[in-house]
Structure 1
Amino acid sequence: MKVTEHIQKAERTLFTIEILPPKKGENIDTLFSHVESLLDFAPSFIDVTYHREEYVYKEQTDGSFKKLVTRKRPGTVGICAAIQNRYNIDTVPHLICGGFSKEDTENMLIELDFLGIENILALRGDPVKSEPGFKPHPEGHCYASELIGQVNDMNNGVYLNSELQDAYPTHFCIGAAGYPEKHFESPNLDTDFDHLKAKVERGAEFIVTQMFFDNQAYFNFVKRCRENDIHVPIIPGLKPMATLKHLSLLPQFFHLDIPEALSREVAKCKDNKAVKEVGIEWCVQQCKELIEFGAPVLHFYTMSRSELVKRVAKEVF
């Protein structure tokens, strides 16, 4: 079932999660255990992230270094298929621009369609860690809006090979990312909303937000979306704070603000156990406010760890 169909049929706010594929060489059973610990809350769909290639430099016998390409977390398509087969839960694989040509993207979409996967979340993706900024594949897309356009073309039976006649149309429900506190590369909010509107105009049918800890940021974001004629469902992304380091790491890596009241309480904690209790309480209150506001879905960034999300969900669902 498509994400939009789940939302249309729902009589209450839905519960969903996002998971990471295991690192190369790790067992998938740990991931299954994480998913199974949350099944009592009936996740309507599960997002599975996709990670682009990374570069490593291996020293050669002559003392020089050879640049090698690796993917540390492969398996997104296989995990999506396994979850749908094992648990009968819809999945939303992430589709990224970085590291993929348009041909790679088309072939991946064909595989997903063959597997009966009906949803995707289309993202530009992060830059390679060793590079200062995002560089697209030479034959790929620069922006998520372009990627969304390709998926939408296939939904209309338009493939890269223009000579194909009566090509089979896919039927993907396309999601896009939204940033309540502005994408860090956008010069201002107006430009950020222009990019978001372009994604919707090219075919995005729902938006999933970056995580936030201040609900007012989400409320303002939804209001501004509606004022900009963006009327698709807007799904808030949430994560319980879990460690003292999160006070600095989350703003650094996700370019978000930590409300003063939350940062003050976390700073009082003597250890991570105390931080988790503060994080759970804060997230529970966020969830209750968001449900009252009418958020269609609460989407939890679990990082493939279920403990804190499970405790939050017990209080909310």
Structure 2
Amino acid sequence: MKIIDLINNSSKTAFSYEILPPLKGTGIEKLHETVDTLREFDPQYINITTHRSEYVYNDLGNGMFQRSRLRRRPGTVAVAAAIQNKYNITVVPHILCSGFTREETEYVLLDLQFLGITDLLVLRGDKAKHESVFTPESDGYHHAIELQEQINRFNQGIFVDGSEMKVPAAPFSYGVACYPEKHEEAPNIDADIYWLKKKVEAGAEYAVTQLFYDNRKYFDFVEKARQAGITVPIIPGIKPFKKLSQLSMVPKTFKVDLPEALTNEVLKCKTDREAQQVGIEWCVNQCKELMSHGVPSIHFYSIGAVDSIKEVARQIY
């Protein structure tokens, strides 16, 4: 069953979350612990992030450095298959423009198809750490909508070189990202909504938001999207606030604002444990308000926050 069907057929606000593949060489056991911790809340699906290769510099000991490429978190396809096989939960691997050529993307699609994994989240992805602006691979894409077009052609049985598949398999369905406080590179929110509409017209069946802490910004974004003719589900992406350091880290990393009320409560905290409790309470109230407005699903970003999400889910599901 496709993600859109899982969401629409859920008798309550659907629960889902995102995980990272493990660091190279560390094994999958910690991911199993995460799934085991959150499975009691009946996740409708689990997203698995994809990470591009980055340049690293190795000291050769003679005053020279050797530049090489390293993917610190490989294994998205394998992790997706392992989780789906072990837990029988639908998985949604991320497919990126960033760091991938068209041919590499095609091989990923073929591997996923062989494994019976046909749900995707299609993203441009972040720029590399050494880049000042996003730069695609020489045979890659600048925008997620271009990646959608390749997936659509693949669904039609056509490879990137124009040749046809002899035996087309089950087509992929996919969602895309959206940004209630606008993407950092967008000139304004209207431009963001314009491109979200284009992505929906190109085949996206739903959109998942960047994390946010102010529900009003989500509601305003959804209203603007509906006025623009976007009718697909817009799923709120949520991450509980957890550490004192996130007062500065969250706005800098994710380009989102922290509400004054949340900031004031966190500033009263003397320890991370106190800040975590504030974050849980804020997240519970945030989710309850979203649910009262009839959101079809809530998607949690679990990285570093599994214990908080478990407590939030315990109170709202």
TM-score by length of 2: 0.97
Residue 163 of structure 1 deviates from its aligned partner by 3.2
Residue 17 of structure 1 deviates from its aligned partner by 0.7
Counterpart-to-counterpart distance in 1, 2:136 and 2:271: 41
Structure 2 unaligned blocks of 5 or more: none
- Identify the residue that residue 6 of structure 1 maps to in structure 2: 6
Contact 1:34–1:305 (CA under 8 A) maintained in structure 2: no
- Identify the residue that residue 147 of structure 1 maps to in structure 2: 147
- Identify the residue that residue 309 of structure 1 maps to in structure 2: 309
Q: Quick one: structure 1 residues 165 and 302, their matched pair in 2 at CA, closer, same or farther if it must change by over 3 Å?
A: closer
Counterpart-to-counterpart distance in 2, 1:267 and 1:229: 41
Pairwise mapping of residues 197-208 of structure 1 onto structure 2 (< 5 A)? 197-208=197-208
Greater Cα offset, 203-212 or 165-174: 165-174
Q: Secondary structure of 1:280's partner? A: helix
Pairwise mapping of residues 169-184 of structure 1 onto structure 2 (< 5 A)? 170-184=170-184
Counterpart-to-counterpart distance in 1, 2:253 and 2:91: 26
- Identify the residue that residue 27 of structure 1 maps to in structure 2: 27
Q: Quick one: structure 1 residues 99 and 166, their matched pair in 2 at CA, closer, same or farther if it must change by over 3 Å?
A: same
Structure 1 unaligned blocks of 5 or more: none
Q: Quick one: structure 1 residues 85 and 304, their matched pair in 2 at CA, closer, same or farther if it must change by over 3 Å?
A: farther
- Identify the residue that residue 98 of structure 1 maps to in structure 2: 98
Pairwise mapping of residues 265-304 of structure 1 onto structure 2 (< 5 A)? 265-303=265-303
User: How many residue pairs align between the two structures?
Assistant: 317
Q: Secondary structure of 1:67's partner? A: strand
Counterpart-to-counterpart distance in 1, 2:129 and 2:151: 27
- Identify the residue that residue 77 of structure 1 maps to in structure 2: 77
Aligned amino acid, residue 214 of structure 1: D
Counterpart-to-counterpart distance in 2, 1:160 and 1:169: 16
Aligned amino acid, residue 276 of structure 2: K
RMSD (CA atoms): 1.2
- Identify the residue that residue 68 of structure 2 maps to in structure 1: 68
Residue 231 of structure 1 deviates from its aligned partner by 0.8
Q: Secondary structure of 2:174's partner? A: strand
Counterpart-to-counterpart distance in 1, 2:167 and 2:79: 28
TM-score by length of 1: 0.97
- Identify the residue that residue 52 of structure 2 maps to in structure 1: 52
Cα offsets for 1:239-261 (capped at 9, x unmatched):
10000011110000000000000
Greater Cα offset, 163-172 or 240-249: 163-172
- Identify the residue that residue 126 of structure 1 maps to in structure 2: 126
Counterpart-to-counterpart distance in 1, 2:274 and 2:122: 37
Q: Secondary structure of 2:236's partner? A: strand
